[in-house]
Structure formats: structure tokens, C-alpha cells
Amino acid sequence: QKEVEQNSGPLSVPEGAIASLNCTYSDRGSQSFFWYRQYSGKSPELIMSIYSNGDKEDGRFTAQLNKASQYVSLLIRDSQPSDSATYLCAVRPSGGSYIPTFGRGTSLIVHP
Amino acid sequence: NAGVTQTPKFQVLKTGQSMTLQCAQDMNHNSMYWYRQDPGMGLRLIYYSASEGTTDKGEVPNGYNVSRLNKREFSLRLESAAPSQTSVYFCASSEETDNNEQFFGPGTRLTVL
């Protein structure tokens, strides 16, 4: 069973702070990594994807991938109350399957 | 572009009733998926269709059937609903590429009494 693990939270940060969300995965040969944001009562929305080691920045979001340590993280700079949501990590495994495995998500609360 | 659409948005069934959840996408994607999401369980794959004319079981297929009607449409059928099928159902689509970024519909909230 190829697993994707996330701390369920909630992670609570003050407005303006950096929120750091982490995800570990068991399949060392995993190819592609995704972060989805899901507001309460809504569907998941893709916010970042990363495919190679290192950092990838998009606005206030930075995804970090370390394949040797088998973790991927999402940093949200200058957190806003509108960032309060559940963040799902998804990992495309090795072995030919293109279907990602989802973690159970981390709940983020940004308080004013 | 509407992206991925699902109908209905809400449904209440009695145990033993049947129903079909509809999904359509206008992004010309080859692959489509049905997930269910339960509190504390994350997203679990029910069935998927890699391309028109093909369907495959996912992690939790029991009690469900699917039909890939054409490239745009992928339906999920509950033949005899059970309370354990109370959940939120999401349809998604993607290009079948190395990246496979998935796009989700708004979901159907199903309650089985």
C-alpha cells in the first residue's frame, strides 16, 4: 500500500505569518506531487504541482520537494484568513499508474 | 468553460433505492474519476476511466457501477443504496500525462437513510 501521510491539524497561525504544511510518502519512486486546497463544503482545487527536487514558487505559495527524504511541503507566506482551508497532498506513484494517492489533509486556520 | 459539472448537488435516498450520479467535463480530457470523501478518510477512488470505452475499479468499488457514456460523460450508479454509502461524491478529470493534474467537480452530497 503506497501511503501519503499528513498531520490532520488543525494548524493555527496568525495573519501575516508563514504557514508550513508537510506531507510524507512511502513510495520512493513517486513521480509527481500536488497540493490541493479544499474549502469547507467545496471541492478540491489544485494550487501547486512539483516534479523535481527543490523549491517552486507561485505567488505566496512555495512547494518544496525532497525525494531523498520522501517529503513535500507547502509554505504559505503572509497568511490570510482566506487561506483557512484543508490542504490535501497528492502523490503520483511509481509503477506505471498515473493515478495519485491523496493524503487525508491538514486543516489550516489563519486567525486575525 | 464550465470545467467539470455534477448533478444532482444533493440527494436523499432510502435504503435499497437506486440512483445515478452524472458527471460531464468540457476540457477534452481523456481520463475521468469518481471519488468519495468521508470525514477523516480523505478521498477514496471508486472507479476511473482512462479513456472512452474503458473503466477500472479503484480502492472502494463495491456497491457501485459506472458508465463512460462518451468522452465528456462519466456516470456513477448505486443499484441498491446502503447507509454506508452516505458520503460526498466528487467527479474529476485529467489528461493522461505524466503530470496528471486533476480537476474536480463541485460534488454531490448523498444521504442514505
Q: Which tens digit of pLDDT belongs to each residue from A3-12? A: 999 998 899 9
Does position B90 have pLDDT exceeding 80, yes or no? yes
Q: How far apart are CA A50 and CA A66, in angstroms?
A: 11
Per the CB < 8 A criterion, the answer to whether B104 and A45 are in contact is: yes
The B residues from 25 to 64 touching A (CB cutoff 8 Å) are: 31, 33, 40-43, 45, 48, 58
Does position A42 have pLDDT exceeding 70, yes or no? yes
Measuring CA to CA, which residue among B36, B27, B1, B7 is closest to residue B96? B27
pLDDT, residue B16, reads 97
Contacts of B40 in chain A (CB under 8 A): 8, 104
Residue where the block lists cell 520537494: A65
| Interface residues on A facing B, Cβ-Cβ cutoff 8 A | 8, 31-32, 34, 42-46, 49, 51, 88, 90, 92, 98-100, 102-105
